[in-house]
Chains A and B, each alone.
Chain A
């Protein structure tokens, strides 16, 4: 059974800092991994999808990497801004089209 872990559960950083959010998963037989952002009381916004054959994906200030063999992914956020404050969720698709989610990391970027 796939399990996805995101540690720490919460993170507070000053504006401008570069930061790394971690995600680990137990079963390396995955199709892809997605990173999402969730604002309080809102839905999920897809940030990046990395296919199992890829090592990383980039979108603007975001870069996500995938190391399937070790069961790890990281989301790198460059030059963080207060508007980046949200909960970041990692989810893996274990070749059956259903996503298994971590519990998320709640990020607070202080002005």
Chain B
């Protein structure tokens, strides 16, 4: 059974930093691209970042580029999202999700397994 378990969320002041983690099990983690998707209160889902299986390729939404860094440790089956210079508009539930087809997120792909998410609140 595929499981994705996020952690690391919490309350942080504007300008602060957080590091999210997502521990994966039930599939060969090192063979699949992974993503972070967030959902702000009352807003639609937003793809934040993705990383290829080997970590050789990454993608960032314009809204987080230069502030967030995605990474992975295939020896630990763990995906990370380092979030710096946090803003109020980054407040959201952050989900990690597995890419359906394979090593990287490509046109025509989908996210076939998701975690329940971890809440990030940016407020003074």
| A complexed with B | no
B residues within 8 Å of A by Cβ? none
A residues within 8 Å of B by Cβ? none
